[in-house]
Structure 1
Amino acid sequence: MTSTQTFSKVPSVFSFQRSMIVSAGAFFNDIAGQNDLSPLYVVRHGLRGTQNVSEAGDTAKGTKDRDVSNIQQTETALLDHRADALVVKFGLRMVDLDSALFACASGDRELAKLVRESVVDFVARAKSSDGLKEVSRRIARNVANGSFLWRNRVLAKSVSITTIFNGNTLTFNALGIPLSSFGDYSADEITLSEIIADGLRGNRDAAIEVMARVDFGVKGAVEVYPSQAYVENKPKGFARPLYKLTAEVPHANGIDHQTVMGQAALRDQKISNRLRTIDTWYDAFDIVGKPLPVEPNGASIDLMSFFRSGKSTAFSMLSRLNQIDPSSPEGMFCIGSMIRGGVYSGGSEKAEVKANAKTESTMDNEANEAQGEVS
């Protein structure tokens, strides 16, 4: 195999497991005078809203024949009325890139062997590259700027991010750190990025505790925003389910107008999505002006579009890893794609492939289970 070898296709079973471990972001109340943070709970309650449907898009006869009121069951997360701020806590650890490749199998065993070797070679080059340092710095910036707080950050008066690792503590003024640009990193951002890079190189002790303190500038039971939860076939009139870490809290139930459902949180996938929003290497960046989450086809839900096609997709790049410099824009995108994980199979083959007595479909299922939700 030469350093410039490419492959017309990748194996029919080809996947990477996620190399970024993120815990869910638990919500707490920070109340003055109390030493301990208290859990912030999601409550389910009813409300009487109004109908807000475009008459042109309404399948009914028109607004005149509709009831103005809209009775709903919904879920809300509010700060304790005594709280000074919202606190969000999660843990972050990177996994050795040597372990990123989850499955690589094909009816053409020589192809699978060569592709596997190309991945091993690329990872070895990446670990000592400036590209890995830059990817790590971008992830560190997205920790430091608190972008993982999503709407809560937008509404905040001030946001303080505290990171703890190896007995060290760094604190960042999140609102003073850019959301959409990379470079001109502070010394603390670089220090944090070195922990992330060490984890990707195989240091199992390179773990980070992250705590965000969000001050909304007003007192009282302010509404905050955990992740929304998808519920299939939700009951009629049930407006918005929210994500919570725990089941219903029995001792807190029985209130006349609401039911406490569990501790509010941001999903790990939602935090991970924001931490890997580092892709400024796609062709249209100068026009779009915002980084995208690392996705194989450059998918953006916000913009409802794909920004990568042809040779700029991860599927294409992974078939020519031997030609790619890890410090180039393509190389850094490939590193980000490996961190993201996912199934990059080249399509099914007519012949059934068996590896270790497992069928392709079984291995694909296992790969999907290992990857889970990535968005």
Structure 2
Amino acid sequence: MNAPEFKKLPGVLSFQRGLVITDALFFNVLDDTQTPVMVVRHGIRGTQNVNKYGDAARSTAANARREEVSNIQTTDTAKLDEYARALAVRFSLRFLNLDNVLFACAPSSTDADDLVRNYRDSVTGFIERAKQSAGVGEVAARFARNIANGRWLWRNRTIARTIEVGVSVAGKSVAKFDALAVPFSHFDDITDDEGRIASLIADGLRGDDDAGLDIEARLDFGLRGAIEVFPSQNYVENKPRGFARPLYCLGSPERGGRDSGMDFASTRVMGHAALRDQKLGNALRTIDTWYPRYREYGRPLPVEPNGASLEAQEFFRDKKTSAFEFARRLNTLDPASPEGMFMIASLIRGGVFSGGKE
């Protein structure tokens, strides 16, 4: 019989992500068609904007010590077609049966022989209770709201004048939303349309129906023309001097220079602009209002085991309220409680929970 709580977690313990999600591709919406928005690499001559009155010795800018005005850079940009009347961003996702999220569970050299067997049973028991509880429905509703409000559009959302988000299954429309009218900071008063999306998500998590959701947002910026839009930005270590910003895109860069028959090319098309699946997932799982300081901080956090927030550069969960602590108490955790719903969302997120050696 399993203990109410485990003294430690198995030495090898990990959960796979409970949803399959694509990148979100950017398209120009023209009068009668859609065309890809491309990332273009080019040079610019800007101005220096380093605080020369700060501590130059500690500055990350290579030219912090210089008294230069101009700032020559190579950078990536994504802009709409000059005749585009809107931006379309679309991706697909499918939620997996929670029965399949446990990826690895094995003992370390110091683990008791029955720890792994008992812990597997505790995971199975918690998931069975979760599927029958209101907790999985609440978690699904929160994911549905973040689909509807366009949180996943990131910076593009903040500059749009209007946004329509549509959700379809197998080519059939399920719901449409005025994204800017959908609440952004809470999950109260779920609408019927949000509820339909939530039901599809919950069905997937319960293993009843794994239908994929096709999601498209149309963003009107209030004007036409070559407006800059914002795909994911790539992090690159040891960037070449003068290289400012690499953007995420799909496809292969066009070949320039002598290979293209040109002696010189001032721009180079890098690929089809997109938001990375990881960035989408982070936005969709920004549903944690169960952390202790929610009333103080006032905004949902991405579901992270320790409540890590890149925006605030802070951990909002301590040892007693972390997913690692709740993972030790799966046998006694109520899936409909705040702790239980956070744990359901943590299983969907996936990750390594290994307990290591005592």
Q: How far does residue 14 in structure 1 lie from its aligned partner after superposition? A: 0.6
User: Partner letter of residue 89 of structure 2?
Assistant: V
- Counterpart in the other structure of 1:116: 120
Query: How many residue pairs were aligned?
Result: 345
1:109 is paired with a residue whose SS is: coil
Hey, what's the Cα distance between the residues in 2 that align with 1:278 and 1:19?
15
CA displacement 1:4-62 (0-9 Å, x = unmatched): 61111000001100001110000000011x2x3100000000000111111222239x9
- Counterpart in the other structure of 2:165: 161
Q: How far does residue 108 in structure 1 lie from its aligned partner after superposition? A: 2.2
1:239 is paired with a residue whose SS is: strand
The structure-2 alpha-carbon separation of the partners of 1:75 and 1:103, relative to structure 1 and needing over 3 Å to count, comes to same
User: Partner letter of residue 197 of structure 1?
Assistant: A
Establish whether residue 80 from structure 1 lines up as the match of residue 77 from structure 2: no
1:335 is paired with a residue whose SS is: helix
Hey, what's the Cα distance between the residues in 1 that align with 2:77 and 2:64?
28
Q: How far does residue 251 in structure 1 lie from its aligned partner after superposition? A: 9.3
1:185 is paired with a residue whose SS is: coil
Q: How far does residue 203 in structure 1 lie from its aligned partner after superposition? A: 3.6
Of the candidates 326, 341, 347, which is equivalent to residue 350 of structure 2? Answer: 341
Q: How far does residue 206 in structure 1 lie from its aligned partner after superposition? A: 1.8
Hey, what's the Cα distance between the residues in 2 that align with 1:260 and 1:241?
12
Moved more, 160-169 or 147-156: 160-169
- Counterpart in the other structure of 2:300: 291
The answer as to whether partners of 1:95 and 1:204 remain within 8 angstroms in 2 is no
- Counterpart in the other structure of 1:58: 56
Q: What TM-score do the two structures reach when normalised by structure 1?
A: 0.89
Q: C-alpha root-mean-square deviation of aligned residues, in Å?
A: 1.9
Establish whether residue 327 from structure 1 lines up as the match of residue 324 from structure 2: no
- Counterpart in the other structure of 1:22: 21
The answer as to whether partners of 2:78 and 2:231 remain within 8 angstroms in 1 is yes
- Counterpart in the other structure of 1:357: none
Establish whether residue 44 from structure 1 lines up as the match of residue 41 from structure 2: yes
User: Partner letter of residue 207 of structure 1?
Assistant: G
The answer as to whether partners of 1:133 and 1:194 remain within 8 angstroms in 2 is yes
1:220 is paired with a residue whose SS is: coil
Identity over aligned residues, as a percent?
51
- Counterpart in the other structure of 1:276: 285
Of the candidates 139, 143, 159, which is equivalent to residue 147 of structure 2? Answer: 143
2:68 is paired with a residue whose SS is: coil
Moved more, 195-204 or 319-328: 195-204
Hey, what's the Cα distance between the residues in 2 that align with 1:175 and 1:290?
17
Q: What TM-score do the two structures reach when normalised by structure 2?
A: 0.93
CA displacement 1:115-152 (0-9 Å, x = unmatched): 11000000000011100000000000000000100000
Paired residues for 1:1-375 under 5 Å: 1=1, 5-32=4-31, 34=32, 36-55=33-52, 56-59=54-57, 65-106=66-107, 107-166=111-170, 167-250=172-255, 256-348=265-357
Q: How far does residue 63 in structure 1 lie from its aligned partner after superposition? A: 7.9
User: Which ranges in structure 2 are unaligned for 5 or more consecutive residues?
Assistant: none
